[in-house]
Structure 1
């Protein structure tokens, strides 16, 4: 079993350079993360979409209440609603994010022979931007599906969005600037903090203890990135999701949406769904990072030696 190692950052010559390995490793960890944690994503989307003006049986008072009502009213399969577009896009986009991250680090060395915190942060931000640009159309489709209590096929949702709203910034690319900002902020912290702290902490001789070290750092990095970028995630969901009044666009643009939410619901509404988001993102972030490193290491050991 390959041992987790911090040598990638301390010794640049050991940085993984094969883009095929990076893509396969990113795909493997992404599929595992999506299948296990999709239900939390559905609950988070429902919580973020509702406002204080919504009353009645679809109003969710919290994570547990949302789980009970979705299960009772829509069945178990509702928790994996929108899974197809997520799997179709999340697998390659996350792979590309890690690929861009690893391949772009050399551009942010700032004359040093070893990566520094800014190397990881800026390379992570670049990966987040590319990921967001790929993700946007599929995110719009997914949020529309998850917001509905009806089972709508992905293709049907896509056709309806294109027919009614088009391909551009009001349709499939609705909220792209907010998603790009969110992707940049999250990954600057998530990837930047993880590799920086991992390189700064001593390795242990026991493989399991070293695994726990990586797990703790990955979980912390994911949590920090999640908390700091959550307002942008909430804004993105409001912009991309169904508007409160059909046919009338209420949430338009990042700053405008922030002002509307804070004025009508208070600034705490920007952190709506923080519990399920954290519960989903912390293990999800750890699975992605550890899975990526693990599979990448296996591929290197198997095919490079």
Structure 2
């Protein structure tokens, strides 16, 4: 009975720590996620003379502020807020469970253990979060002023009424989301925990803090570079199609091939800079908040 109680307590700590990490990260970093999506859904056919054509991050921020207002930088934030707390809770909780599984009876985890656990956690969170991603991308792609744009609930109802809950509706782009999240988390957790285990633990709290920040930043930045072609495919599948009434981007690999053939290799890395600017520091924020929140909750729940 005592062991079960300890297991449940540790599970609650992992869920609480992961949820806190997700909430803090999304509130701070959402504007960069929005800019990333806007850049990714621009196709070769987009009119470059259009006043809403974005030539880069600064240009996108400037034009959004001019045409849509300051609050437009947080368009589509409600789905991530509703999703990120449970999503990150799921991510960190399942990572710990997969880690135990992939230790295969060993007393200490290896870099392979961390990587496989991250892969499993990424795939699991992707299934949970994909409906929120579909709604978020639809909201982020809308270029009306914030007051004129449809609400989260309106967009959700429209998607469900028109296409249902399946792979053409609220779960559109599921395989792309699974691929994106799995690749990201495989490196993200694998690198962070493996390298952290090799470095000394500093008694000075500031040195320890910046060590974790640095590792988290590297983990998030490199993982973003590795998975971005799948992120571009996801944005194309879930975002507005180039021709109304015609579905051009259907599957993950097909979308990657189309983008490569029509727009070149560089197009598979559209939105990379805002993605790295978001998930580099965002990745650091999440891991550090998780570590310190886990330590705090462990103390108060003893």
TM-score, reference length from structure 2? 0.93
2:128 maps to what in 1? Answer: 134
- Provide the rounded CA distance (Å) in 1 between the counterparts of 2:184 and 2:275: 13
- Provide the rounded CA distance (Å) in 2 between the counterparts of 1:184 and 1:30: 17
- Provide the rounded CA distance (Å) in 1 between the counterparts of 2:136 and 2:161: 17
Name the SS of the counterpart of 1:51 in structure 2.
coil
Give the superposition deviation at 1:104.
2.0
Q: Which runs of 4+ in 1 moved over 4 A?
A: none
Give the superposition deviation at 1:16.
11
Match of 1:114 among 108, 114, 123: 108
2:252 maps to what in 1? Answer: 254
- Provide the rounded CA distance (Å) in 2 between the counterparts of 1:70 and 1:153: 18
The answer as to 2:172 corresponding to 1:180 is no
Asked if 2 retains the 8 angstrom alpha-carbon contact of 1:137 and 1:172, the reply is yes
Unaligned runs of 5+ in 1: 1-14
Unaligned runs of 5+ in 2: 1-6
Match of 2:191 among 165, 190, 193: 193
Match of 2:45 among 53, 56, 72: 53
Match of 2:64 among 67, 70, 84: 70
Question: Over residues 136-185 of structure 1, what are the superposed CA-to-partner deviations in whole Å (9 max), with x where a residue is unaligned?
Answer: 11100000000001311111101111222221111111110111011111
- Provide the rounded CA distance (Å) in 2 between the counterparts of 1:218 and 1:37: 15
Asked if 1 retains the 8 angstrom alpha-carbon contact of 2:115 and 2:190, the reply is yes
1:31 maps to what in 2? Answer: 23
Give the superposition deviation at 1:17.
6.8
Q: Report the count of equivalent residues.
A: 290
TM-score, reference length from structure 1? 0.93
Asked if 2 retains the 8 angstrom alpha-carbon contact of 1:16 and 1:102, the reply is no
The answer as to 2:83 corresponding to 1:89 is yes
Give the superposition deviation at 1:205.
2.5
The answer to which of 15-24 and 224-233 deviates more is: 15-24
Give the superposition deviation at 1:204.
2.1
- Provide the rounded CA distance (Å) in 1 between the counterparts of 2:167 and 2:244: 18
Name the SS of the counterpart of 2:150 in structure 1.
coil
CA RMSD of aligned residues (A): 1.3
Asked if 2 retains the 8 angstrom alpha-carbon contact of 1:17 and 1:103, the reply is no
